[in-house]
Amino acid sequence: MTRPSKWTNHSVRALAGEEDPITVVTSRAREVVAKALDQGWSGPPFDPIALAEILRIPVVASDEVRDARTRNIGDSGRVRIEYNPNRPPARVRFSIAHELGHTLFPDCTDHVRNRAAYHELTADSWQLEALCNVAAAELLMPAGSLPVIDAPSISAEVIMGWRKSFDVSVEALLVRVTHLASSPCAMFCASAPASQLASSPGTYRIDYAISSTSWQLGSLTGVTLPAGSVVKECASVGFTAHGDEKWDRAGSVHIECLAVAPYPGAVQPRVVGFLRPPGGAPDRSESMLFNVVRGDATRPRGQGRRIIAHVVNDATPNWGGGGFASALRRRYEAAQKMFQEWAALDPGRFHLGAVHLCDVAPSVQVATLVAQRGYGPSARPRIRYSALRTCLESLGQIAETAHAAVHIPRIGAGQAGGQWSVIEGLVRECVSARGVPVTVYDLPGAPVPQSSPQTSLGL
């Protein structure tokens, strides 16, 4: 999201303090998702009402509500979400997820939160609403639920295909796509003044914009688009347009955009779209940051600093069971001994979410991620996605600081029973998104699980 020079909204500051609110709300939404996945939440499509049930937040239908709102339940300190069931299904899903985003803010119970149109927002309240949209996208499209994002290949038609598969609003989808993209891109939402007649389209203004980590734009909020912008061609819901043009504060951009439902009470549709530099050439391609090969992860390829990462359980520091940890123990016996000593010296640090790092060879380290609950037969997967996310965030930071590449088997998807598409998504978000190269190893002849929902989406 294009950052305002200063975050002024009271609720936003209560959430993030002096930290970046986008980073904080994204992290909190992802924590909620990881814990829900641990409790069996699944998709796509991912049901926000089912998520609310896991969070013990009542969701009630009410045709007295325009879209959705969050309000107190008496003096209990709890809230409930009310939504209008007469809205289109995708809008209902997004509205409920948006309200769940409000519950991430510490002062949620202080006010009745109504999902508002951007042209109705006053002062700095748009900041809160925009952040709830960011959270909603994370909740509706969790890690591993979208295919690999290659910004230069994205068109309005591709976006519409994804929208149908996930049953979400185009707006939410574009937010999530932008967050996942490794190449320079951004999404935007624009609208015409409420008084403007549909029969005589004039100016469009940017309500808000979100950029990928590799393309730091200046603030586009409030920018008036050029008089001849292709955005004006999206005159009716479902119309698409694309082209190259120059925007204030962004310079030359390529645009893929489409018209979506107008704000309640407005005449003209909103226009949401995807931006990228002309030509769309990324600074670092996805294939450079995430690569799958046939080989042995205990013998990491390449030169420079390399970190071999693997998952272990929280019940014993002894690596056994015949999985990758056993192979790693045979290859680097010192790594097992150092991990055992680390756990014995202070048992309090041997817990889910912990990471142990040790040197095993010149320029090679082993990172042990404690992300599996116990071991042995179990009625449910032993992987704990919330713990794995914590471990991977630490690993990504370590590797980025050390300018190291990460080498892994399909961690968590073996004896831990995890779903590789989810785990791959977490690796991409927590490690690759930092610019850290990741190599995934499959043994020669071993069956390869589906790595992403790309095939199921027909893309």
In a domain, 327, yes or no: yes
Same-domain status, 408 and 438: yes
Same-domain status, 18 and 139: yes
3-state secondary structure (DSSP) of residue 202: coil
In a domain, 247, yes or no: yes
Pairing of strands 270-276, 306-313: unpaired
* Residue where one domain finishes, among candidates 145, 164, 183: 145
In a domain, 452, yes or no: no
Same-domain status, 140 and 158: no
Same-domain status, 115 and 11: yes
Q: What is the pLDDT of residue 448?
A: 60
What is the domain-level CATH number for residue 117? 1.10.10.2910
* Residue where one domain finishes, among candidates 255, 283, 311: 283
Same-domain status, 54 and 73: yes
pLDDT in tens, 332-347: 999 999 999 999 999 8
Q: What does the chain come to in residues?
A: 459
Same-domain status, 311 and 362: yes
Higher pLDDT among residues 145 and 123, named by residue: 145
Looking at the DSSP bridge assignments, the partners of residue 186 are 211, 275
Same-domain status, 154 and 278: yes
Same-domain status, 155 and 296: no
Amino acid at 214: S
* Cα radius of gyration rounded to whole Å, the chain: 23
In a domain, 459, yes or no: no
- pTM for this predicted structure: 0.69
When divided into structural domains, the chain yields a total of: 3
Same-domain status, 94 and 187: no
- Over 70: is that where the pLDDT of 292 sits? yes
- Over 50: is that where the pLDDT of 195 sits? yes
In a domain, 454, yes or no: no
Same-domain status, 154 and 133: no
Between 125-140 and 170-180, two packed helices, what is the crossing angle to 10 degrees? 80
What is the domain-level CATH number for residue 362? 3.40.220.10
Whose CA is closest to 245, among 232, 258, 235? 232
pLDDT in tens, 296-313: 899 998 889 999 999 999
Same-domain status, 129 and 154: no
Is residue 54 very low, low, confident or very high in pLDDT (cuts 50, 70, 90)? very high
In a domain, 274, yes or no: yes
What is the rounded distance in angstroms from the CA atom of residue 13 to the CA atom of residue 128? 10
Cβ-Cβ contacts under 8 Å for 51 (sequence gap 6 or more): 32, 36, 41, 97, 100, 139
Q: Among 82-86, 196-200, 330-334, which is the least confidently predicted range?
A: 196-200
- Over 80: is that where the pLDDT of 264 sits? no
- Over 50: is that where the pLDDT of 8 sits? yes
Show the domain range for 197.
147-283
Higher pLDDT among residues 400 and 78, named by residue: 400
Q: What is the pLDDT of residue 119?
A: 45
3-state secondary structure (DSSP) of residue 399: helix
Same-domain status, 318 and 404: yes
Higher pLDDT among residues 281 and 341, named by residue: 341
In terms of average pLDDT, the best of 3-12, 197-206, 399-408 is: 399-408
